[in-house]
């Protein structure tokens, strides 16, 4: 059990929320809805990661700026020309559209970061292991590949530094590139070998040959059903309220937000509210001891 109340919910409840959060983020390009998704994703990510999540949040700022600035270089539609780049117009409308797409991309990264913490591999396999055992195992391996590669890269660089082959601050660019290529080659070899070993191991254990059981049983509780109902109600209200229309090129046209923005924020903030409720209850119980 974790300290996060939403992480302790049934995997289906977690999956429904993240499908809704990521799905709405991709579909709704209204600036107010994009900002709400980014803010809610950042809040929940910080609650899950604590101070360790700050580097990722700071890293999202240059990502947002770069993606926003690059879009007008390829999308030249718009009426208000700011300046020209290599003879092509750099328009204000294309810049706004680039900011919307960049915000959507940042929000997706944040929600996927929360997803990787909440919906662990055992939860995912418990949901789909019986239906699609091979695909579920493949998806779990893919989703956990990035954090595993990052952890193994740090181990390889630490080992090379310990034997005197690390890249120091005074090293030249050629040595830095050479060291990076060696680390990348080692990571690739490790990933390929690890995939083969995992596949052979699971095949030897008869994975997918019979009815699958899980080491932990997940049962839908009253709170899970209540959350599922709230998710569906708030998502339906957001869709029915409207006010999500936004067009950036060739003419900027953004509709005024309606009360659906409130239901959308409530939908996205439910896990954070549960986290806060659990933290308050824990503080109260500690103070009574």
Longest Cα–Cα distance of the chain, Å, equals 72
Q: Let me know whether 201 and 220 are in one domain.
A: no
Q: Let me know whether 220 and 249 are in one domain.
A: yes
Three-class secondary structure of residue 207 per DSSP: coil
User: What's the distance, CA 203 to chain centroid?
Assistant: 31
Query: What is the model's pTM?
Result: 0.75
Q: Let me know whether 203 and 104 are in one domain.
A: no
Q: Let me know whether 155 and 103 are in one domain.
A: no
Helix intervals (H) in the chain: 11-27, 31-49, 54-74, 92-118, 121-128, 133-143, 145-162, 173-204, 222-241, 260-287
CB 173 within 8 A of CB 179: no
Give residue 136's pLDDT.
60
Give residue 1's pLDDT.
45
**Helices 145-162 & 173-204 angle (0-180, nearest 10):** 130
Which residue among 188, 210, 232 closes a domain? Answer: 210
Give residue 77's pLDDT.
82
**Residue 71 burial (CB count, 10 A):** 19
Give residue 211's pLDDT.
63
Domain that holds residue 261: 11-130+213-287
- Is the residue at 168 inside a domain? yes
Task: Report the C-alpha gap between 38 and 264 in whole angstroms.
Answer: 12
Which residue among 210, 233, 252 closes a domain? Answer: 210
Task: Report the C-alpha gap between 18 and 119 in whole angstroms.
Answer: 9
Give residue 139's pLDDT.
64
**Residue 45 burial (CB count, 10 A):** 23
Structural domain count, the chain: 2
Q: What is the mean pLDDT of each run of 10 residues along the chain (289 residues)?
A: 78 91 92 95 92 89 90 82 82 90 93 88 70 62 69 82 69 71 82 78 71 66 91 93 86 87 94 88 78
Give residue 144's pLDDT.
65
Task: Report the C-alpha gap between 211 and 36 in whole angstroms.
Answer: 43
Give residue 212's pLDDT.
59
Q: What is the DSSP letter of 242?
A: -
CB 10 within 8 A of CB 224: yes
- Is the residue at 136 inside a domain? no
Q: Let me know whether 60 and 193 are in one domain.
A: no
């Amino acid at each position: 059990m974790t300290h996060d109340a939403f992480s302790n919910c049934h995997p289906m409840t977690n999956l429904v929320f993240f499908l809704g959060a990521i799905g709405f983020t991709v579909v709704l390009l209204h600036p107010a809805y994009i900002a709400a998704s980014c803010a809610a994703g950042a809040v929940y990510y910080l609650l899950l990661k604590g101070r360790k999540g700050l580097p990722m949040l700071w890293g999202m700022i240059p990502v947002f700026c770069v993606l926003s600035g690059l879009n007008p270089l390829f999308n030249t539609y718009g009426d208000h020309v700011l300046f020209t780049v290599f003879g092509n117009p750099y328009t204000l409308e294309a810049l706004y559209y680039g900011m919307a797409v960049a915000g959507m991309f940042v929000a997706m990264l944040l929600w996927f970061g929360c997803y990787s913490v909440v919906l662990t591999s055992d939860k995912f396999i418990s949901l789909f292991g019986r239906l699609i055992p091979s695909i579920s195992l493949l998806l779990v391996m893919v989703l956990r590949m990035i954090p595993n590669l990052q952890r193994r890269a740090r181990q390889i660089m630490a080992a090379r530094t310990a034997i005197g082959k690390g890249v120091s601050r005074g090293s030249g660019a050629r040595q830095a590139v050479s060291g990076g290529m060696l680390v990348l080659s080692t990571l690739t070899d490790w990933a390929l070998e690890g995939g083969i070993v995992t596949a052979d191991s699971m095949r030897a254990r008869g994975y997918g040959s019979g009815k699958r059981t899980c080491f932990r049983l997940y049962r839908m509780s009253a709170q899970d059903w209540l959350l599922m109902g709230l998710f569906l109600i708030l998502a339906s209200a957001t869709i029915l309220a409207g006010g999500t229309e936004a067009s950036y090129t060739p003419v900027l046209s953004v509709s005024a937000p309606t009360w659906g923005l409130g239901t959308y924020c409530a939908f996205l903030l439910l896990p954070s509210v549960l986290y806060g409720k659990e933290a308050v209850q824990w503080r109260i119980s500690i103070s009574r001891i």
